[in-house]
A and B are shown apart, each in its own frame.
Chain A
Amino acid sequence: GAVVSQHPSRVICKSGTSVKIECRSLDFQATTMFWYRQFPKQSLMLMATSNEGSKATYEQGVEKDKFLINHASLTLSTLTVTSAHPEDSSFYICSANTGSKNIQYFGAGTRLSVL
């Protein structure tokens, strides 16, 4: 079946560095991908909708200059956390929409720890 691959699964970085997270659809083309954030013991929060070939749509309260999203191809979207700070430590998850069947597939998530 359709699979979404997210990489890396875990990253630890120093405060002030930038971290890039990749989300790939492995056997289908995803015109739309979504990025979520999950705080400990809380549910998922939609951060932004990533559209291939156009600018991402950010949810209210999400800084677009802080969380850079690039959806350069139909199978890859990237989320870059710029100048990461400890408060950015969280679990980031992507999902991709198959479009034709309108089914959402989720990546395994990336646990970011900023020291």
Chain B
Amino acid sequence: KNEVEQSPQNLTAQEGEFITINCSYSVGISALHWLQQHPGGGIVSLFMLSSGKKKHGRLIATINIQEKHSSLHITASHPRDSAVYICAVRGGNNDMRFGAGTRLTVKP
């Protein structure tokens, strides 16, 4: 079993829909990151969470430390949101473990 599990693996949505991507982890962490990887491969760090909730524009990330679960929400989705979203957790050794990613396609 992977240390970081993401769901769904693939997600197709219509423009304007509300999107949720889930991440569950089984190890102790000091922080959780949500990353966005575009087709060219470059990675952007969207959020770093250690507790609670963060919001940036149309993106919202939440984390429940007790349940070892995090969600990434996208409100009013747009085709430019199409990308792979990766959940990554930082362990005690400052290393990172990655989920398999969720491939999001938003259709106009």
Contact = CB atoms under 8 A, between A and B. Distances in A.
Contact of A108 (B42, B48, B88): B42
Contact of A44 (B30, B86, B93): B86
A106 B98 contact: no
B100 A42 contact: yes
22 contacts: A34-B96, A38-B41, A43-B86, A43-B101, A44-B86, A45-B98, A46-B95, A46-B96, A46-B97, A46-B98, A49-B93, A49-B94, A49-B95, A91-B41, A93-B43, A102-B30, A102-B31, A103-B45, A104-B45, A106-B45, A108-B41, A108-B43
Nearest to B87: A43
Nearest to B84: A43
Given A43-B98, A102-B48, A108-B41, 5 more contacts: A46-B96, A104-B48, A104-B96, A106-B45, A108-B40
Interface residues of A, number: 22
A32 B95 CA distance: 10
Nearest to A45: B98
Contacts of B48: 102-104
Nearest to A111: B41
Contacts, number: 52
A97 B95 CA distance: 10
Given A93-B43, A109-B43, A104 B33 contact: yes
Interface in B7-37: 30-31, 33, 35
